[in-house]
Structure 1
Amino acid sequence: MPLIMSGQEGARVAPSAQEIEAIARRTLAALPEEFRRHLGEIVLIVEDFADDETLKALDIESPFDLTGVYHGRPIGEKSSMESGAVLDRIHLYRRAILDEWIEDGEDLATLVRHIVIHEVGHHFGLSDDDMHRLEDEA
């Protein structure tokens, strides 16, 4: 059953995982070519919340405090000699995203775009400043 959120224009239905994934895929497609061609087979996963193992590993108490996470090795740390490695993944956590969306009043597409670009930045081993520049370019 979808969540019903109270917004400025009255009640509205919370976006589904598929809608959030669609925003994330559009964000990835809009990245500059020099980044897109190096994303490889990165997997995009949208779940309601992070699992307990992920929260514990990141020392996060509330699942509402984690909107996204990159699982994998930054591209600069990989070797062509590796085989059988698990594909890199970007996890987006729908309920935490929706909570932030409602609290901050930011446009959902802008929020998801920010989270995805931040996680892509981890894939490339970028600094926070570099991630902000990438977000400006996408």
Structure 2
Amino acid sequence: MSITVRPLTAEDHELIELARRTVDENTDGPDGIYTMGAAVRAADGRMFAGINLYHFTGGPCAELVALGRARAEGARELTTIVAVGNEGRGVQAPCGRDRQVFLDYHPQLRVILPTAQGLGSVVASDLLPAGFPWAP
């Protein structure tokens, strides 16, 4: 299977910056808490940020918080998402749970992540090619 990686656009960099600002301004710091910020762009251009709620029971990932915030604001068509780690860790790939949620709710969502060629974006459905086809 071949995954098509697209180069980033100016809008993608704007989304990365929102996620980075969100995590930098709200991080729990380097001591034991794994803080991530995320940002998602809606088809109408609005951007929504989220931050994870780290908890030993498996609190929600930043990407899921951003998706929920977008939904709460009425954004149903989403185009791009990114997650950025605290303490300068930069753009991070989504975890398996996030990939499954993307596949179920927004399979054509572009996901910004690190690749062998540097940062790029891929279609969410390419990240979980044999994912369970759950339908809400």
Between Structure 1 and Structure 2, whose CA radius of gyration is higher? 1
Bin of the TM-score, shorter chain as denominator length: under 0.3
Structure-1-length-normalised TM-score: 0.27
| Structure having the larger proportion of residues in helix | 1
